[in-house]
Chain A
């Protein structure tokens, strides 16, 4: 027995050594870079890369043992069987090793703290190709999905072990990195290379900059619009939402849909996934005055928004309370953070359990899979069963299903799309999610979107900081932004790439029922109605969330009135800001600079600001 155990341990050790020395050799790490050389083979874009590829072509021509290229194109290597592809890679390595300055010997490999998914892998490929075309030299990037948490990232970076490129969500997280000194100031290089603040949507400028200095570039822009089931509106005999829809219209429509025997899917609620903050901002409320020196929660507009939110749940009953929403969540439903509630709302919307929700373009994949799995595939398979082998329609349907089953984001041809549509019967169409998209209704009828960007920051302490800055430049490229748009990864951060063939209405064509994902509403929202997040440098976002969270729990449970909620938040935020300013001499100087008055820790900031010559905030206290 003892010998058996020892043998097993020895075998395990040997296998580990073999894995690290033979199965996972260092040379394999260069494969993505070689693939990038092959991918740009026909259009290298940069003289240095062009010269290198030309020399390699000559070398390869003298190697009759290499598998032939399709139409002589190096890019066809990617489509070859793995064994053939490996031979080309090996040939590339051999060619490179004989050169006086091998390109594979030393190139930067960036670590990007982001999730690992097919879209990200494509983006990494695009970066390698873009870098070759733009700079003529290789660079690699790998994702690090296990270190995405901003807390972890900050600790790693200040300890000198952080990723080269850090993913941040919104101005608050960016602020943490800037405060910690981790974020690299790219203002000058961005201006010189044409990816400055002026190239992004104005509303997301605060997601990439602070005090006029640029530290990041948007990966995409996050916001949500109104999603509704067109079939439910049709069945209930209600006109679909338009741009001037208000909260009252939404309430009316919800009441006419829920419990209506003409709506066979029998949704439980009319609307979901809408927060008190959304309602207050859309009503014109503010969190802080213009220069962020005093809280402004206690205003008639904020209170009106809070009241509208509460009434949607408790007065009109058209929206689930947070407890009801949580109880309906598929994930167990007790930690209803924004993500969990959004996921719950998406799942309920997809199953027609609610008539309307707010959602983003990223939900295309889930809805497309739902329509594909539930309706389109069964319908197409029924149709295929009726067609004779060799029938062109059968071929179209089979190939379309194969492609979509692998990845719903892979574009299918117009003929395939038409064949799928033709396979759907009226009964099938009733089962589809028939999506409608409109602006989120507000109290005023004027759409309002509080938007922020998911952006990338270069780690100031990275030994590859220059390459990281080049990666940020890549985020402003046409290739990257077209990929964001075509994979329904929200919407790109660069207005110039949002419209047209590469824009959000470009390919692929959404699956039947989901044509609204090409709706102009998405572009209008960010072009015409987007606003940045409201922040104050005198209070951290985490503390703001803790204070507001305590109070909002009581509002959403209907324990306190909207007036009391607004007043409580205002008082507590004011007290916290004063405590922060009192403790920090730098903050105090900044506050006094902005307001022009001497700070007094004993007087509420709102009252102190009134004495200043600075512009007054909105509405004021009721």
Chain B
């Protein structure tokens, strides 16, 4: 022990102060200040150094405007958008878990010699594929007088330039796949972990711009891939009896219903026998409902395929993704799921998996547990604290998020304005209403706080079970 208690305190404070001052000035101060602002009518255009008008205390007027007043039409609309976009959170978490399980498994050869052999074979096959792609797709010499392409989405390119562009894309795709396979063979799962984590290292805006290009309804890679699939489906539906599709759709709906009912019945029995708590039962209901909705939706689509095919004799149109009210939010969800699968959640699950004692699996093996039973009775319960943490953080992130996507990809159009983007617009583009924007921030805080309390109340119960 060095020096007196007072001296030790002073030394500790000296170390803590820089961080504490930074926290007070740049975090706590602005938080308190924004709370105060939310009870005022402060608008930067009206209350500044050029104006004598005083900032007025307006009590809870800003909150009233947001929740039931003239702003409520916007606020609740954007809250609905925010909540809808959060549908992707459980999908992303599930994807992260699956990916972590895959990357945790021993994939591919482990002996160095076998790895080297695998890499060499992959390299040879890959190079052959690259050469094949190059030979098959490279256009001949450019014509002297260029013939312009009329294909939309890729403007002011000649047909030859377009063919060359496609050839380059094909060769590039083959080369990238080859490189990944060879490296994966040579290095092993660590390489794939790195690859899957890479998107998290890239700046959000860069990713969003990339996805924006992928989502282009015409000229975008996603629809370019979907078109032949949809054409095949259309062809298949058009040349088969409608009753077959109706039967298939009905079958999917009934099967989904039965599976859902079974899941609920099992849950009810477990609850009755105290094999699970109320929280687990509620979770089971939520997941079953989601599963049933998806299944019933798919079944309905399958049932309606013949009618859809006859209504579109030229083929099914692929989605218009970011430029339609029907698809824009779903497009953002899909992108969010992709971004979420390989990010920090995957790492947390991998860390959680690494911490599961191997004796538990050994005991399971001795008892003859199948892979599924090992997952359900060992892995999943052992991962509960990790899952709980991820759910909490993802929920908070979901309520706060969506700003960059709205700003970069859609500018808030087609139902993609979320609360964070709304807050920004109020504060900086719509008359600089700082007071009202602060109120939005605090309402968001309240929602996040309540949601987190709910998660703690029921989630921690599930974790303890």
Contact = CB atoms under 8 A, between A and B. Distances in A.
Contacts of A352: 148, 150
B46 interface: yes
Contacts of B408: 335
B240 interface: no
B411 A337 contact: yes
Interface in B31-50: 41, 44-46, 48-50
Contact of A181 (B51, B73, B217): B51
A268 to B, nearest CB: 6
B45 A327 contact: no
A546 B48 CA distance: 25
Nearest to A586: B53
Interface string A150-177: 0100110010100000000000000010
B132 interface: no
A495 interface: no
Contact of A575 (B70, B213, B216, B323): B70
A182 interface: yes
A429 interface: no
Interface residues of A, number: 56
Interface stretch (B188-196, B264-272, B423-431): B423-431
B397 interface: no
Nearest to B213: A332
A324 B324 CA distance: 10
B284 interface: no
Given A330-B155, A348-B152, A180 B45 contact: yes
Nearest to B326: A557
A480 to B, nearest CB: 29
A351 B431 contact: no
A431 B428 CA distance: 47
A576 interface: yes
A352 B147 CA distance: 12
B380 interface: no
Contacts of B257: none
B215 interface: yes
Contact of B323 (A181, A322, A431): A322
B153 interface: yes
B50 A334 contact: no
A265 interface: yes
B143 to A, nearest CB: 12
B70 A327 contact: no
A330 B432 contact: no
Contacts of B216: 327, 329, 332-334
Nearest to B41: A583
- Say whether chain B's binding surface is mostly helix, strand, loop, or mixed: loop
B438 to A, nearest CB: 16
A267 interface: yes
A328 B415 CA distance: 21
A557 B324 CA distance: 8
Interface in B323-350: 323-325
A352 B151 CA distance: 11
B145 interface: yes
A125 B294 CA distance: 65
B69 interface: yes
A484 interface: no
Given A158-B44, A176-B45, A370 B156 contact: yes
B50 A154 contact: no
A265 B74 CA distance: 46
A328 B218 contact: yes
B323 A179 contact: no
B409 interface: yes
A475 to B, nearest CB: 24
A81 B216 CA distance: 50
A461 B70 contact: no
B155 A158 contact: no
A557 B325 contact: yes
B322 interface: yes
A347 B321 contact: no
Interface in B200-233: 209, 212-213, 215-220
B413 interface: yes
Contact of B156 (A160, A350, A540, A554): A350
Contacts, number: 146
B413 A353 contact: no
Nearest to A175: B45
A431 B155 contact: no
A381 to B, nearest CB: 12
Interface string B416-439: 000000000100111110000000
A329 B320 CA distance: 13
Interface string A240-258: 0000000000000000000
A559 B150 contact: no
Nearest to A336: B323
Interface in B41-92: 41, 44-46, 48-51, 65, 69-70, 73-74, 77
Which of B48, B77, B148, B156 gathers most chain A CB within 10 Å? B156
B146 interface: yes
Nearest to B429: A542
B104 interface: no
B153 A333 contact: yes
Interface in B423-458: 425, 428-432
B244 interface: no
A575 B157 CA distance: 49
Given A155-B44, A549-B413, A327 B323 contact: yes
Contacts of B153: 327-330, 333
Contacts of B425: 542, 546
B320 A323 contact: yes
Given A179-B46, A332-B212, A461-B49, A351 B148 contact: yes
B412 to A, nearest CB: 8
Contacts of A267: 150
A154 B411 contact: no
A73 interface: no
Contacts of A51: none
A353 B322 contact: no
B156 A347 contact: yes
Given A151-B429, A179-B431, A181-B51, 14 more contacts: A154-B45, A155-B44, A181-B48, A323-B323, A328-B155, A328-B219, A332-B216, A333-B153, A335-B212, A335-B408, A335-B411, A347-B156, A374-B146, A557-B325
Interface of A: 151, 154-155, 158, 160, 176, 179-182, 265-268, 322-324, 326-330, 332-337, 344, 347-348, 350-353, 370, 374, 427, 431, 460-461, 540, 542-543, 546, 549-550, 553-554, 557, 559, 572, 575-576, 579, 583
Across the A-B interface, the 5 shortest Cβ-Cβ residue pairs = A181-B50, A327-B217, A334-B322, A579-B70, A542-B430
20 contacts: A154-B44, A180-B44, A180-B48, A327-B219, A328-B152, A332-B209, A332-B212, A334-B212, A334-B321, A335-B408, A335-B411, A337-B411, A348-B155, A353-B150, A374-B146, A427-B145, A549-B413, A553-B415, A559-B325, A579-B65
Interface of B: 41, 44-46, 48-51, 65, 69-70, 73-74, 77, 145-146, 148-150, 152-157, 209, 212-213, 215-220, 320-325, 408-411, 413-415, 425, 428-432
